[in-house]
């Protein structure tokens, strides 16, 4: 049997296993919108741990992580830095947010903001922003899946077909099972990714250099700049500490408030589940350590690979390594796991946000609970189709758009903190803070020379956001004290388990 066919069959076997695991939980959840979006608020610690971990470590990490360590050296360690602290804010505001969700029935982030600020504009704006931020992120996942299929089958499966096969499976289980399907497949995919990453991450340095230690010793001798912090910038020049630190900071701020992550707070079974997830979450970042080993292993052994993000499949499929077809097939499945475990969470969140936050505020009360669930499922398909169409456009640059989206998403962090900790914040203050932060982020992305140094534009946006929100809130009448008290006092305790009766 040809090697490429073995690889292809192993990959198909992985996809069928993912489909079976993703479909099974759908039979256990209620048929309500809460069951589809929040899993009846019954998600356990293990499921939440893997939902968050596998959702974050995407095809971009699986392919881009080795690419960064291969081309930019120590700069790649910033990923470890923000991944370690990104969920820390959940420890402090997560239980409060979850309690508010149980009391008022929230299943999305913007629903909470809408209620707190008595505003339809804020959630509608956030819904539009979120969906536009999701699409380029999802396109990257689809392109990663298509590229992996194409490489490991020696070009016999075109990229468009590979992306269609992988995301056809994702659409089916997300459509059918909602967040529980996402949770169980992410658990399976997360375990698979970690096992494969550590296997390749230890084997390839040993095969090419005699071990991890000898590999770094050789790099330190021949290319010492690769191992000097903070590493290299995209143009190959030394990255400044300001650029490095601000990239860590903006990533950490945005990490905990991305809508498809934040929504998972509402799925937790209890406060203990949330806090344990935060405490143990940095252990998932260990997945990135061997991924970086892979990139470093190619620095001296495979010079000049362009683009750098292809270094992992280049090494795995090279004659110099001569891996058995079964191992190459498992690599393909692991890369697909990274792509699908992020893509399914994004698709699920995009449908929920579009229906609950946008339409629910444009035409409140116009959809029954059953109709909401149907429309969320339809939007899952529509967003998937739009993202797939964009993924087929050759040469379309999405990196700048994704970075711009991250700068925008980070503006939600001060709004979340102010809402929970400062009763004096008002609706005009929240709106003007968001608009100011977003505008600053846009301007500094379009005209980067206006910023001091190479500080991430989103940092300036967050600072402007906080200042404007504070000034406008203090200069506008306070909101009704009895209404605000619902958000500044701890809601009533919630039983350990609860299933929606809706």
- Which of 121, 19, 96 has the alpha carbon at shortest distance from 492? 96
The number of residues in the chain equals: 502
Q: What tokens were used for 280?
A: 């143990």
Residue 401 falls inside a structural domain: no
Same domain, 169 and 262: yes
Same domain, 324 and 415: no
Number of domains in the chain: 2
Residue 498 falls inside a structural domain: no
- Which of 338, 302, 8, 69 has the alpha carbon at shortest distance from 195? 338
Q: What is the pLDDT of residues 58-75, one digit of tens each?
A: 666 677 788 888 988 898
The tally of CA atoms less than 13 A away on the side-chain side of residue 275 is 6
Same domain, 387 and 429: no
What is the C-alpha to C-alpha distance for residues 451 and 449, in angstroms, rounded to an integer? Answer: 5
- Helix, coil or strand: residue 476: coil
What is the C-alpha to C-alpha distance for residues 26 and 344, in angstroms, rounded to an integer? Answer: 14
Rounded to two decimals, the pTM is: 0.74
Same domain, 117 and 250: yes
What range does the domain containing 459 cover?
Answer: 411-491
pLDDT value, residue 489? 45
What is the C-alpha to C-alpha distance for residues 172 and 17, in angstroms, rounded to an integer? Answer: 13
Pick the residue with more confidence: 110 or 338? 110
Residue 400 falls inside a structural domain: no
Same domain, 238 and 185: yes
Pick the residue with more confidence: 173 or 485? 485
pLDDT value, residue 72? 87
What is the C-alpha to C-alpha distance for residues 271 and 249, in angstroms, rounded to an integer? Answer: 26
Residue 406 falls inside a structural domain: no
What is the C-alpha to C-alpha distance for residues 68 and 497, in angstroms, rounded to an integer? Answer: 43
User: Which residue, of 369, 395, 421, is where some domain finishes?
Assistant: 395
pLDDT value, residue 153? 79
Residue 427 falls inside a structural domain: yes
Percent above pLDDT 90 for the chain: 15
Same domain, 64 and 180: yes
CA dihedral 476, 356, 102, 480 (to 10 degrees): 20
Pick the residue with more confidence: 213 or 315? 213
CB atoms within 10 A of CB 106: 23
- Which of 301, 59, 62 has the alpha carbon at shortest distance from 204? 301
CB atoms within 10 A of CB 211: 13
Domain at 12, CATH number: 1.20.1730.10
Q: CA 59, 62, 63, 65 torsion: positive or negative? A: positive
Same domain, 186 and 317: yes
pLDDT value, residue 494? 44
Q: What is the mean pLDDT of residues 347-362?
A: 81
Q: What is the pLDDT of residues 259-311, one digit of tens each?
A: 878 888 888 888 888 888 888 888 877 778 888 899 999 999 998 888 787 78
Same domain, 219 and 291: yes
**At 436, is the pLDDT very low, low, confident or very high (cuts 50, 70, 90)?**
very high
Is 401 exposed, middle or buried, given 0-12, 13-18 or 19+ CB atoms closer than 10 A? Answer: middle
149, pLDDT greater than 50: yes
pLDDT value, residue 467? 97
Residue 302 falls inside a structural domain: yes
* Unique residue bearing structure tokens 């914040």: 425
Same domain, 146 and 89: yes
Q: What angle do CA 247, 142, 335 make, to 5 degrees?
A: 80
What would the DSSP string read from start to end of 172-195?
A: HHHHHHHHHHHHHHHHHHHHHHHH
What is the C-alpha to C-alpha distance for residues 302 and 60, in angstroms, rounded to an integer? Answer: 21
What one-character DSSP code corresponds to residue 408?
Answer: H
Query: How many helices and strands in the chain, by DSSP H and E?
Result: 23, 0
Long-range pairs for 314-321: beta carbons < 8 A, 24 or more residues apart: 315/204, 315/208, 316/152, 316/200, 317/151, 317/152, 320/208, 321/204, 321/207, 321/208
pLDDT value, residue 300? 92
User: Which residue, of 361, 395, 429, is where some domain finishes?
Assistant: 395
What is the C-alpha to C-alpha distance for residues 455 and 248, in angstroms, rounded to an integer? Answer: 11
Q: What is the pLDDT of residues 154-207, one digit of tens each?
A: 788 888 888 888 888 888 878 777 777 777 777 777 788 788 888 888 999 999
pLDDT value, residue 348? 79
Q: CA 359, 365, 369, 371 torsion: positive or negative? A: negative
Residue 496 falls inside a structural domain: no
What is the C-alpha to C-alpha distance for residues 155 and 83, in angstroms, rounded to an integer? Answer: 35
Same domain, 353 and 425: no
Pick the residue with more confidence: 130 or 492? 130
Residue 296 falls inside a structural domain: yes
Q: What is the pLDDT of residues 437-474, one digit of tens each?
A: 988 988 887 787 777 777 888 899 999 999 999 999 99
User: Which residue, of 344, 365, 395, is where some domain finishes?
Assistant: 395
Percent above pLDDT 70 for the chain: 89
Same domain, 308 and 342: yes
**At 101, is the pLDDT very low, low, confident or very high (cuts 50, 70, 90)?**
confident
Same domain, 110 and 239: yes
């Amino acid at each position: 049997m040809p090697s490429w066919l073995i690889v292809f069959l192993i990959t198909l076997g992985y996809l069928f296993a993912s489909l079976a695991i993703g479909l099974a939980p759908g039979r256990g959840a209620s048929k309500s919108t809460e069951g589809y979006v929040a899993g009846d608020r019954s998600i356990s610690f293990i499921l939440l741990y893997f939902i968050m971990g596998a959702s974050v470590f995407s095809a971009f990490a699986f392919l881009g992580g080795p690419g960064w360590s291969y081309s930019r050296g120590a700069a790649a360690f910033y990923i470890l830095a923000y991944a370690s602290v990104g969920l820390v804010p959940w420890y402090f505001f997560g239980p409060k947010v979850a309690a508010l969700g149980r009391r008022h029935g929230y299943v999305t982030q913007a629903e909470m903001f809408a209620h707190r600020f008595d505003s339809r504009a804020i959630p509608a704006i956030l819904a539009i922003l979120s969906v536009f931020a999701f699409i380029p992120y999802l396109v990257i996942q689809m392109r990663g899946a298509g590229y992996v299929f194409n490489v490991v089958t020696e070009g016999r499966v075109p990229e468009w077909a590979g992306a269609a096969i992988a995301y056809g499976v994702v659409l089916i289980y997300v459509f059918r099972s909602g967040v529980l399907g996402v949770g169980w497949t992410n658990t399976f995919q997360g375990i698979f990714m970690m096992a494969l990453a550590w296997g390749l991450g230890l084997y390839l340095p040993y095969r090419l250099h005699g071990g991890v230690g000898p590999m770094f010793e050789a790099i330190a001798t021949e290319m010492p700049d690769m191992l000097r912090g903070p590493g290299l910038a995209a143009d190959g020049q030394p990255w400044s500490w300001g650029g490095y630190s601000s990239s860590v900071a903006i990533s950490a701020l945005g990490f905990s408030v991305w809508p498809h992550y934040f929504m998972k707070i509402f799925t937790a079974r209890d406060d203990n589940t949330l806090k344990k997830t935060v405490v143990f979450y940095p252990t998932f970042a260990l997945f990135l350590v061997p991924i970086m080993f892979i990139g470093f292993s190619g620095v001296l052994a495979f010079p000049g690979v362009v683009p750098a993000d292809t270094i992992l499949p280049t090494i795995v499929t090279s004659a110099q390594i001569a891996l058995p077809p079964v191992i190459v097939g498992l690599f393909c499945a692991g890369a697909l796991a990274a792509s699908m475990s992020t893509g399914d969470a994004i698709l699920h969140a995009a449908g929920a946000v579009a229906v609950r936050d946008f339409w629910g505020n444009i035409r409140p009360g116009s959809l029954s609970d059953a109709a909401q669930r149907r429309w969320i499922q339809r939007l899952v398909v529509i967003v998937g189709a739009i993202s797939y169409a964009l993924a087929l456009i050759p040469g379309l640059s999405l990196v700048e758009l994704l970075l711009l989206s991250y700068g925008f998403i980070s503006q939600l962090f001060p709004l979340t903190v102010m809402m929970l900790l400062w009763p004096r914040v008002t609706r005009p203050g929240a709106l003007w803070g968001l608009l100011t932060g977003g505008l600053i982020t846009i301007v500094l992305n379009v005209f980067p020379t206006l910023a001091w140094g190479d500080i991430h534009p989103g940092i300036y946006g967050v600072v402007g956001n906080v200042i404007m929100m504070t000034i406008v809130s203090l200069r506008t009448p306070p909101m009704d004290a009895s209404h605000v008290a619902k958000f500044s006092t701890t809601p009533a305790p919630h039983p350990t388990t609860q299933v929606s009766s809706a």
